[in-house]
Amino acid sequence: MAEIHELSAVRLRDALHSGELSALQAADHFLRRVEVQNPHLGAFITITAEQARMDAAAADQRHALRGRGGDALPPLHGMPVAFKDLTDVQGVVTTHGSAALEHKPAVSDGALPAALKSAGIISLGKTQVPEFGLTAYSENRVAPPSRNPYALSRSSGGSSGGSAAAVAAELLPFAPGSDGGGSVRIPAAACGLVGLKPGRGLVPAGESSGDPAQLVVAGPLARSAADAALLLDALVPGPADASYLQLTAREPGRLRIGVSLDSPWQTLFPFTPEREALDALADGVARLEAAGHETSEAAIRYDNRYPDAFTTAWTAGVGSARIAPQREALLTPLTRTFRRRAQQRSAAKLNESLGFLRQFQRDTITQYARWDLVLTPALAQAPRPVGWFTGAAHGGSYWPAAEWAGDADEDYRKQCEYAPWSSMVNVCGLPAISIPVHWTGGAPGSGLPMGVQLIGPMGSEGLLLQVAAQLGF
């Protein structure tokens, strides 16, 4: 058998169910990898090794009882995962990536950990996030920045950046992320993973407080479509003969796919996609056409009021976060700026923005309906250097307050130009998937990964996974 960390999640699941591997063996193996690699990778904020080993030993006892007539094993029996440090795991501190909060152990599990613990997972800890999940990079004042396994000087993206880095570096077989404006798809693209954002309401959100526009949904980060499907099946249990994993083994029918570079951000922040992004899009088109699908240019018209309305809804939650006045100075410049603006904004302004976003959703879905799927680059630029968004060059372990010298509006502009095709999908509530079709060095694993995004209609999660699998991922 290959090294444990080299196994696909599906193969590891099978080995754990059959008894070929014990849960404790798997947990120990991945914990050792975390211990060695995390100091330079920054994927984990908190490592719960002792609890993980206790939980794995208990899982092994359940496995032994099954052989003597005990209950059937849960679908993800013994599978190691970790959770973003935005969602509560009982007995573990939730930092929300913020030095301004008191860090206390959570009294109970959030919806996402509760669902996956019921499915049999073993949690190894909490992964790095930006403060309150607000940014497309995972850097904060709590712990070292999350770095890209393919180039440690580069960011792993955000806000599920620590989870993506851990999966890409084979510290985990797969991981749940959450996506409110691209937070699964952005780090998936940056780290060469398959990242699925399900449609609104399909799975537990993970962390959705202060989300008036219902933007946030949880979804899988994985090294293949089949592994992503396995995790999604645990979150959305269905009939055994209609699982997402089984769907990935079937070919989709011939699809009409619209190809677009249009973005609702381009009027406020005019941007030019980098050559690497256009190369990734060309590779995606070529792969889809080779698989028998029809592609054509898709001209999408987006209302230019979108940036203001989205930003209003996106930052509403940080305005209402419970932070002691004397600790607000510990917030990053971007969080502090958006918190102040959110608190100064009227309730009428928020309601007006939410009403506009509902109309934007209807208009955009009507346009997308001309095609079966819509294709865009996943990112407009190659993964950015650590510190690039904040304007702070950093080579040490932590980011003290003195080094966060960047301008909040410049930071936000850079993020919107980096990932201009993601947030509108959350507003529309649609499923979308990032697929790592391109490498800047020309071959898988060489240079930096670049992905494409496929957007589908409501209920198309299975189709998106099918297409990703059909393309060889």
Active site residues per annotation: 84, 159, 183
Q: Are 231 and 177 in contact (CB under 8 A)?
A: no
Instruction: Give CA 41 to chain center in angstroms.
Output: 17
Q: CA 123, CA 85: separation in Å to the nearest integer?
A: 12
Give the pairing type, strands 256-259 and 373-377.
Answer: parallel
Virtual torsion, Cα 462, 439, 216, 386, nearest 10 deg: 160
Asked whether the CA dihedral 307, 308, 312, 315 is positive or negative, the reply is: positive
Sign of CA dihedral 369, 375, 381, 387: positive
Q: Which residue is listed with tokens 């799975």?
A: 203
Burial level of 306, CB count in 10 A (0-12/13-18/19+)? buried
In order of 40, 76, 191, 206, 428, the CA distances from 160 in angstroms are: 18, 21, 11, 12, 20
Task: Report in angstroms the alpha-carbon separations of 358 from 178, 255, 313, 342, 461.
Answer: 21, 28, 12, 20, 22
Give the DSSP H or E segment for 117. Answer: helix 111-118
Q: Locate 404 and state its tokens.
A: 């966060």
What six digits make up the tokens of 450?
Answer: 């670049």
Q: Which of 298, 284, 133 is nearest to 215 (CA)?
A: 133
CA 77 – CA 17 distance, rounded (Å)? 7
